[in-house]
Amino acid sequence: MVVDARGYSCPMPVVMVQKEVKKSAPASLEVLVDNQCSVENVTRFGTSCGYQVTVAPEGRDFRLSLSK
């Protein structure tokens, strides 16, 4: 499952991830964002929900991998 939140400023990336987590409670989730604020906020949300979060830069974007 991939949530593409590039082009959105906070809090929208967190809201998009929150909707997906509530809808399907995935064991793993990939999130694409394009700014550091979103990286920090999605990471904070993911860890508060019990996910391990890893961040990988991809050019100007970031790929966050959330897994339980």
Q: Which tens digits make up the pLDDT trace of 5-53?
A: 999 999 999 999 999 999 999 999 999 999 999 999 999 999 999 999 9
Give the total number of structural domains in the chain: 1
The CATH number of the domain holding residue 38 is: 3.30.110.40
pLDDT given for residue 7 in this prediction? 97
pLDDT given for residue 23 in this prediction? 96
pLDDT given for residue 2 in this prediction? 97
Nearest by Cα to 67 from 52, 54, 56 = 52
pLDDT given for residue 11 in this prediction? 95
For residue 32, give its domain range: 2-67
pLDDT given for residue 24 in this prediction? 94
For residues 19-29, b (16+ Cβ closer than 10 Å) or e, as one string? ebbeeeeeeeb
